[in-house]
Amino acid sequence: MYREDADEAARFLLERVRAARGRLWDEGPRGEALGEVGTESPALRMFAARRVRGVPLAVARGLIAWSRGERPVDLLRHAPAAADVLDRQASGRRCVSLLDDGTARACGNPLHADGLSFALHDLRHLEKFVEAAHYRGQVGFFRCMRRTLASAAFEALERSFDETWQADRNYVIADMNGSAVFLFSVLKMRINMAVRRRLAAARGRAAPTSGPLDREERDALAPALETLLSAMGLPDALRAEALLVSANRDHPGHARRLLAYFEAQA
């Protein structure tokens, strides 16, 4: 089945690139072909041998690997909900959706507002998900997030936040791939801002969009982060370190131990 799915995805991309680019779709032969294709598909062979305008090398390589059964991917004909993407990633898989332009546009993201850009977006994320250095950590992180969202305590915390938090959380669990520690750090930052907006609303003022938290904000943030860490199942010995790691990579020892925990959950 994976060969047929990879072939369908390759044909989908090729047809739409040709329609969008006309005679400019073909950028010439690759310096070196991308290896054997696990099918007789003309579309896959085209991606293996030639550069197709607007299709990154990583995506072409991923399509060829998919045709050989080397990608944990599910082909969809609909746009999945964030919770569905989370479930797949927690199970070690990603999805690629092939959508008509109207369905893609209805998803409301101007960065991939047609079927071609939507599929390319999914294929790029697939390659980031399967990257050897980050795969196990991501699977473990997403398993922890699935556990977190099922927690009654975390559900109660989320009810105190606004709709922006829902969008921010969904972005982390369904539209980000890479280092598990980076994903965790971004999630913490989003909680910081959700707490800040909650307090600003209670004060009847607009929330700052940058700058350090004030004392009242820090006091309100502490129990929110403790709820997150508890719902994720982080051991007590790791929680202080988890609170210190950030996207700035300023605590490498803490980050390594946190990554080891996520990898152990995979």
Neighbours of 237 (CB within 10 A): 9
Identity of the residue numbered 255: A
pTM across the whole model:
0.94
SS3 content of the chain, % helix, strand, coil (to 5): 65, 5, 30
Whole-number pLDDT of residue 38: 66
Provide φ and ψ at 73, rounded to 5°. -135, 145
Whole-number pLDDT of residue 237: 93
Contacts of 132 (CB under 8 A, 6+ apart): none
Is-contact 47 25, C-beta < 8 A? Answer: no
Task: Report pLDDT digits (tens) over 36-80.
Answer: 776 679 999 999 999 999 999 999 999 999 999 999 999 999 999
Contacts of 199 (CB under 8 A, 6+ apart): 207, 216, 217, 220
Show the tokens assigned to 160. Answer: 């105190």
Per-10-residue mean pLDDT of the chain, 266 residues long, equals: 92 96 94 77 94 96 94 97 98 98 91 93 98 98 98 98 97 97 97 96 86 92 97 95 90 95 97
The structural domains of the chain, with segments of one domain joined by +, span 2-129, 135-265
Neighbours of 140 (CB within 10 A): 20
Show the tokens assigned to 25. Answer: 């779709």
